[in-house]
Structure 1
Amino acid sequence: MYLTSNDLAILFPEKQGIEDYILFHTVSDQANVLQSKGLFIPLNNQEDKLIEAIANGAVAAIWEEGKSLPPYTPNHFPVFFTLDLAEAVKQLLQLYLDYLNGEKNHNMDITNFKFSNKKLLNKNNETYDIAVMVNQIADSKRNNSERRG
């Protein structure tokens, strides 16, 4: 199951660019990695690297609201706006994990998340490693269900 542009439109209703249905094979904060059909999220002030992300396969971006897009950004390039990029990543991962929790097909295609933003991780004492986040969210859900009970 791939993350789609329709999923992003639900989370981030402020957007610009073409509103085609896009399947994202990759989500990354790294402009310099290959990101086939990628969604680029410029964490840690990497807005100036959008052109590199596009050259490496990014087909859309999540952008901090209020920050200018580079003048070279194609008019048709889908951009979804948010007030907080780190929070956007959390929402995106939570949505995707919810989708995966409902899937029964173990041989499905999945979106590849590539995050290596060590400065942001150190600053927030959090992780964006999908495997670690899955465990944290699962633990959180278990704790919440125990309290309801």
Structure 2
Amino acid sequence: MLTYQEVSRLFSKATGIKEDMIRFHTVSSLAEAEQPKGLFVPVSEQSGTLQEAISNGAVAALWPEGVKVPAYAPNHFPIFYTQDNLKGLEEIMNSYYNYLSQHEETRERTKFIFPDKGLLNEADETYDIAVMAEKINGYGSNQSKAGEE
């Protein structure tokens, strides 16, 4: 399962609580999606608001550096900063996929939630994030995944 510690290695600039043992059960680019213990990564205007993501279970967010965090965000809420959220999401997925390929026995998995596969491919035609998400969500499909019964 994706942890705070792993994400903080990718994005050294962060605010809020610094707790290495936080485990992200979901990573979502859609605020309206149920995302228990989620890491919210808004990649477009259609992603929704941080407030909506928090109300749907997000416990942290990846945020564009230089963009003001909404005042309603709790002080303890972990926020990781990146120059580009889409590229940041790509880094998270690459890191997590590499982790899974080395730890095939891992039973608990982070679930990745995307609203529109086409949207994710617009920004970088040479890197297909949707395919990567399918690989991650399908990796070890005979094993249970986080958030699924």
RMSD: 2.0
Give matches, 1:9-88, under 5 Å.
9-20=8-19, 21-45=21-45, 49-88=49-88
Q: Residue 26 of structure 1 contacts residue 37 of structure 1 at CA under 8 Å; is this kept in 2?
A: yes
- The 8 Å contact of residues 24 and 39 in structure 1, kept in 2 or not, is answered as yes
Give the equivalent residue in structure 1 for 2:140.
none
Aligned equivalents of 2:111, 2:91: Cα separation in 1: 16
Structure number, greater radius of gyration: 1
TM-score (norm: length of structure 1): 0.80
Identical columns (%): 38
Distance in 2 (CA, whole Å) between partners of 1:110 and 1:67 is 31
Distance in 2, matches of 1:33 and 1:122, equals 21
Residue in structure 2 matched with residue 113 of structure 1 by the alignment: 112
More helix by share: 1
Contact 1:26 1:38 in 2 (8 A): yes
- In structure 2, runs of 5+ residues without a counterpart are 138-149
Q: Where does structure 1 differ by over 6 angstroms across 4 or more consecutive aligned residues?
A: none
**Unaligned stretches of 5+ residues in structure 1:** 135-149
Q: CA deviation at 1:122?
A: 3.2
Q: Contact (CA 8 Å) 2:37, 2:58: kept in 1 or not?
A: yes
